[in-house]
Amino acid sequence: MKKMILFAVLGLLTLASCKKSSSPAITTPNTITATVDGVTYTCKFLSGSEAEQDSSGTDLWYNYENYAYDSAYNELYLDIKQLNKAISSKTYGSQGDSTTEAYVEFDSGGSYWGSVTKINPATITVTSSGGNTIQGTFQGTLYNSEDSTSADKKVITNGKFNITTP
């Protein structure tokens, strides 16, 4: 009986020490992963960032973009913009937010599907940025050739990125 109690206590201690993470971060630098219509893609990427001034010359849009390819040359592309502020940890592309933009694109077999922010926005959430690394998540509905009237669309879920910039 004492042995059964001892094993029960040890079992409870083991279970109590386990942690679940609902959204594990990407640990491999320079990757973008996402599930596109139920298929998971893992891409290695190139990255870039820039600041661009709007045509009126009064506002400064800070832009960060990155794109990645898998071995079959499928591409995942992410682009975030923020008005008059550097890119930081927050969600970009929320509907009704005119100070941020988010664009997600998936290219495969010569076709591309892109998010149409004003119709059905994709969102990109930067969860960590500092030094030379930016990490986060993304999701959204992408339309063929960005045509929101097209029935040909892709749903992206579980998107994650971990970018180390030069």
Q: What is the pLDDT of residue 41?
A: 93
pLDDT for 10 beyond 50: no
Mean pLDDT score, 94-104: 84
Asked whether residue 1 is assigned to any structural domain, the reply reads: no
Judge whether 108 and 74 are in contact, CB under 8 Å: yes
Asked whether residue 35 is assigned to any structural domain, the reply reads: yes
Residues in the chain: 166
Q: What is the pLDDT of residue 6?
A: 31
Domain range for residue 47? Answer: 27-164
Q: What is the pLDDT of residue 37?
A: 94
Cα separation of 79 and 65, whole Å? 4
Residue type, 163: I
Judge whether 114 and 79 are in contact, CB under 8 Å: no
Number of domain units in the chain: 1
Confidence of residue 9 (pLDDT cuts 50, 70, 90): very low
Confidence of residue 53 (pLDDT cuts 50, 70, 90): low
Asked whether residue 18 is assigned to any structural domain, the reply reads: no
Tokens 């010569």 sit on residue: 110
Least confident span in 23-27, 30-34, 65-69, 144-148? 23-27
Q: What token pair was written down for 69?
A: 């390819």
Q: What is the pLDDT of residue 122?
A: 87
Q: What token pair was written down for 115?
A: 């998010």
Nearest to 92 by CA among 124, 117, 61: 124
Asked whether residue 15 is assigned to any structural domain, the reply reads: no
Asked whether residue 2 is assigned to any structural domain, the reply reads: no
Q: What is the pLDDT of residues 13-32, one digit of tens each?
A: 333 333 333 445 566 888 89
Judge whether 142 and 104 are in contact, CB under 8 Å: yes
Q: What token pair was written down for 125?
A: 């959430």
Q: What is the pLDDT of residue 20?
A: 34
Asked whether residue 7 is assigned to any structural domain, the reply reads: no
- pTM for this entry: 0.77
Asked whether residue 3 is assigned to any structural domain, the reply reads: no
Asked whether residue 6 is assigned to any structural domain, the reply reads: no
